[in-house]
Amino acid sequence: MSGGLFITLEGGDGVGKSTQAALLEGWLTEQGRTVVRTREPGGTAAGVEIREIVLHHRGDIAPRAEALLYAADRAHHIATVVRPALARGEVVVQDRYIDSSVAYQGAGRVLDAEQIRDLSLWAAEGLVPDLTILLDLDEEAARARLDTSRTRYDRLEAERSDFHARVRSAYLRLADDEPDRFLVVDASRPVEEIAAEIRDRLAARV
């Protein structure tokens, strides 16, 4: 049992991040760790309000404004939830983080990826995850899963397929650039197999 551990889950919409986050939380708890499971956007009370704007606002939001809203949510969340938990030696299992901004606002909205990363790092005062699990699924399979689970789409989910294709490639490039931080899993495999692969990767560190 060591110090705090910061684990993030990433991937397109509908790839099964929440299912894996729940399974991971259960396993870590069995191992005797205290787990904080959280998400961006919306991991704080202020963040819930930002989430409502950024995902459900009815009109357009300029791409840079969208990037700043995610960064504002992140700044408050990291300062008030994530850093305190890590300082207590807990494990933070977080749905989406900086890589989401680089993939969605960088590649999806076609803003400068490096600027987006710098903005996010500024917001989070440089906090980088110990492990990032990328659940990779082709766009058609992800869309099919979303169609069965959603009654309405949020602003990002409603984007066209070329947007989601750019997001997926951006994620894969990020993982290629930082193989030590990333674990890429094929999200078309059975849920239990994916969970086992994640546990294997973490076993040494927990």
Tell which one of 7, 8, 10, 13 touches ligand TYD (CB under 6 A).
13
Helix/strand/coil for 168: helix
What does the longest C-alpha to C-alpha distance in the chain come to?
A: 48
Which C-beta is closer to ligand TYD: that of 33 or that of 96? 96
As measured in angstroms, the least distance from the Cβ of 205 to ligand TYD is 24
Q: Give the C-alpha separation, 41 to 139, whole Å.
A: 22
Instruction: Assess contact for 137 and 188: CB atoms under 8 A.
Output: yes
Task: Say if residue 41 is preceded by a cis peptide, omega within 30 of 0.
Answer: yes
If one asks whether residue 41 binds ligand TYD (CB under 6 A), the answer comes out as yes
Which residues inside 45-74 make contact with ligand TYD, applying CB under 6 A?
A: 55, 70
As measured in angstroms, the least distance from the Cβ of 30 to ligand TYD is 25
As measured in angstroms, the least distance from the Cβ of 50 to ligand TYD is 10
User: What string of DSSP letters covers 95-160?
Assistant: E--HHHIIIIIIIITT--HHHHHHHHHHHTTT---SEEEEEE--HHHHHHHHHHH-SS--TTTTS-
Which residues inside 73-112 make contact with ligand TYD, applying CB under 6 A?
A: 95-96, 100-101, 104-105
As measured in angstroms, the least distance from the Cβ of 203 to ligand TYD is 26
Point out which residues bind ligand TYD (CB under 6 A): 13, 39-41, 55, 70, 95-96, 100-101, 104-105, 156-157
